Amino acid sequence: MGFPLEYLVAAVVILLFLVGIAFFRSPRTARLGGWLNILAYAGAVAFVVIRYPVFGPEFVLIAVLLGGTLGSLLAVRVSMLGVPQMIAFQHGCGGAAAFLIAFSEFIREGADLTTLAQVGGVLGIIVGAATFSGSLIAAGKLARKIEQRPVFLPSHTTIVFGLLFFALLLSVLAIFEYGLPFAVGLATGLIVVSVVIGVIFTIRVGGADMPVIISFFNATAGFAAAFCGIALSNFLLIGCGACVAASGSLLTITMCRAMNRNLLGVFSGIRPSVARPAEALEPVPAEASSEEGSPFDRAIAALKRAKDVIIAPGYGMALSQAQEQVRSLAKWLKERGAGVRYAIHPVAGRMPGHMNVLLAEVGVEYDELFEMQVINDDFKEADLAIVIGACDVVNPAASTRQGTPISGMPILKAHEANAVIVLNYDEKPGFSGVDNPLYGMKHVIPIWGDAKANLNALLSSLQQ
């Protein structure tokens, strides 16, 4: 950068990105917004490559083709269930690219960076390398390849702060020694320490908190890109990095609120322990309570009677791959003239908005998907709520009991419906470890077992 034309290009590219993101406010215009982003990105790349021809273009081309092919193969093939781990992995790649560039610029002979650029460089190395290793751990946890429970080392917090202090020390020394041969060694050490920080930091975060941590690394990948931009004195990188950091920060805050967690609690891996065993809630009288028969028959009767149905899906539905069956059940209900809506809790999936893409993948129209705040007051007028593979997000104990990990967490008020069918794997509590009093209520019909198999059984019985 340095010439007015470059500033102009940077401004136009950032503006296009912003307009693209503005189009994401509605599903009708979102796709156009996505293409505006691609256009802006391609324009920026074309401008830089034409103006600053690279040495050895054949190697660069091979790298682009290889990365692009792998990326497109994964993007086309990944199932919506696998999207969180793919995106977590990509955050790792973003962090890696940022720290490699910041490091290269920092140790490059003849770069002659200003002190400001040097600070940007070391920050880019720290944040980029920690995002890289941390995101790989998060991707492993999301893919269920790594232990879900938080891993605690002895004096974990002290280790984290000690390592951070060590990184700070190395940074200061590297800037002090800048331009001297020893700075290369210090910057290399900084990469190693930062990678270790990312690992130690992330192993302590539990599987249930992954929606928070994936958003957090989305933000740090943005910050790393922005720091990289400061190292290179490149406004385009700073601007784009800041936009991404803003988006990731907002999603982090949204996820924390939806889980009633604070960020420090997530990072420490500690969840408030369950103070008391679950006490039965006052049962809500309902017509179903007087009926006899197996839960299966009661569920059939409730489904045949229902005119206004709300479906509350949870991650268990996705794990049993029951989305198609859920949609078939909704179709059957609609053909009988019933209204069917889906109530989506913000943390029903493994990342922000995950449940929506899981349902959209099987063809559920988006005007049937409702945010929790919009639909929550309609449960009490609904004839029937169907809970599928969801526990904590429909647990009334969140609002009736104090001192549990979910106390105060906003929930879907499925228990307020006239009748509730629960299709969960078992009666065990969800991630939070809090028993769910919903299961014991008289108007609730629990059907335990694999949701997919049970839905198939219900469907074949209904269609006779």
Q: Which tokens sit at 259?
A: 């889980």
Residues belonging to the active site: 392
Q: Any bridge partners for residue 308, and if so which?
A: 339
Which residues make Cβ contacts (< 8 Å) with residue 54, sequence separation at least 6? 60
Q: Answer yes or no whether residue 397 interacts with other proteins by CB under 8 A.
A: no
Q: Which tokens sit at 320?
A: 């049993």
Cβ pair 259, 253 in contact under 8 A: no
Contacting residue, 232, 266, 438, 455, with other proteins by CB under 8 A: 232
Tokens 């604070």 belong to which residue?
262
Cβ pair 191, 95 in contact under 8 A: no
Q: Which tokens sit at 375?
A: 């639909």
Q: Answer yes or no whether residue 25 interacts with other proteins by CB under 8 A.
A: yes
- Residue 24 vs 425, nearer CB to other proteins: 24
Q: How many CB atoms lie within 10 A of CB 154?
A: 6
- Residue 27 vs 403, nearer CB to other proteins: 27
Separation CA 197–CA 266 (nearest Å): 16
Q: Any bridge partners for residue 371, and if so which?
A: 344
Q: Answer yes or no whether residue 327 interacts with other proteins by CB under 8 A.
A: no
> Which phi and psi angles does 5 have, rounded to 5°?
-60, -40
Binding pattern for the stretch 201-220 against other proteins, x by CB under 8 A and - elsewhere: -------------xx--x--
Separation CA 457–CA 146 (nearest Å): 34
What residues between 235 and 294 interact with other proteins by CB under 8 A? 235-251, 254
- Which amino acid, 421? I
What residues between 76 and 95 interact with other proteins by CB under 8 A? 76, 78, 80, 83, 86-87, 90-91, 93-94
Contacting residue, 2, 3, 4, 28, with other proteins by CB under 8 A: 28
CB of 398 to other proteins, least distance (A): 19
CB of 329 to other proteins, least distance (A): 17
CB of 208 to other proteins, least distance (A): 18
CB of 230 to other proteins, least distance (A): 6
Q: Answer yes or no whether residue 367 interacts with other proteins by CB under 8 A.
A: yes
Q: Answer yes or no whether residue 45 interacts with other proteins by CB under 8 A.
A: yes
Sign, Cα dihedral of 346, 349, 354, 355: negative
- Residue 232 vs 394, nearer CB to other proteins: 232
Q: Answer yes or no whether residue 407 interacts with other proteins by CB under 8 A.
A: no
- Which amino acid, 96? A
- Residue 63 vs 153, nearer CB to other proteins: 63
Tokens 């009666």 belong to which residue?
427
* Total number of residues that touch other proteins (CB under 8 A): 113
Instruction: Number of helices (H) and strands (E) in the chain: give both, helices first.
Output: 17, 6
Tokens 């800037």 belong to which residue?
175
Q: Answer yes or no whether residue 63 interacts with other proteins by CB under 8 A.
A: yes
Q: Answer yes or no whether residue 392 interacts with other proteins by CB under 8 A.
A: no
- Residue 80 vs 423, nearer CB to other proteins: 80
Could you tell me which of 456, 460, 148, 138 has the C-alpha nearest to residue 321? 456
Contacting residue, 307, 357, 427, 453, with other proteins by CB under 8 A: 357
Separation CA 365–CA 28 (nearest Å): 12
CB of 114 to other proteins, least distance (A): 7
CB of 237 to other proteins, least distance (A): 6
Binding pattern for the stretch 149-188 against other proteins, x by CB under 8 A and - elsewhere: ----------------------------------------
Could you tell me which of 399, 390, 403, 386 has the C-alpha nearest to residue 429? 390
CB of 363 to other proteins, least distance (A): 7
Cβ pair 175, 182 in contact under 8 A: no
Q: Answer yes or no whether residue 375 interacts with other proteins by CB under 8 A.
A: no
What residues between 99 and 118 interact with other proteins by CB under 8 A? 100-101, 103-105, 107-110, 114, 116
- Residue 260 vs 404, nearer CB to other proteins: 260
- Residue 28 vs 276, nearer CB to other proteins: 28
Q: Answer yes or no whether residue 317 interacts with other proteins by CB under 8 A.
A: no
Residue 82 CA: distances (Å) to CA of 139, 208, 349, 404:
10, 16, 11, 31
Contacting residue, 66, 153, 192, 275, with other proteins by CB under 8 A: 66
Q: Answer yes or no whether residue 38 interacts with other proteins by CB under 8 A.
A: yes
Cβ pair 370, 297 in contact under 8 A: no
